[in-house]
Amino acid sequence: MRTIFLADAHLHNPEDKNYRLLLDFIRSLKGTTDILCILGDLFDFRIGLPNLDFPEQEPLLKALEELHSSGTRLIYLEGNHDFKLGNALAERLGAEIYPEPVTLEIQGQKIFLCHGDLINSSDWRYRLLYRILRHNIVFKTGKLLPATIINGLRRRLQRSSKGRYRQDRSRWDYPEMIRLYAGSISKQGCNAMVLGHFHLPFIENKDGFTLISLGDWISQFSYSELVDGKFSLLIYPA
Domains in the chain, CATH or no CATH each: 2-235 (3.60.21.10)
Give me the phi and psi of 49, to 5 degrees please. -100, 135
With H, G, I as helix, E, B as strand and everything else as coil, classify residue 86: helix
pTM value?
0.94
pLDDT in tens, the chain (238 residues): 899 999 999 999 999 999 999 999 999 999 999 999 999 999 999 999 888 999 999 999 999 999 999 999 999 999 999 999 999 999 999 999 999 999 999 999 999 999 999 999 999 988 998 999 899 998 888 888 888 888 887 787 777 666 666 667 778 999 999 999 999 999 999 999 999 999 999 999 999 999 999 999 999 999 999 999 999 999 999 8
Taking a C-beta distance cutoff of 8 angstroms, is the pair 59, 95 a contact?
A: no
Taking a C-beta distance cutoff of 8 angstroms, is the pair 212, 6 a contact?
A: no
Query: Rounded CA gap, 139 and 86, in Å?
Result: 12
- Strands (DSSP E) contained in 135-238 are 192-195, 201-206, 209-214, 222-227, 230-235
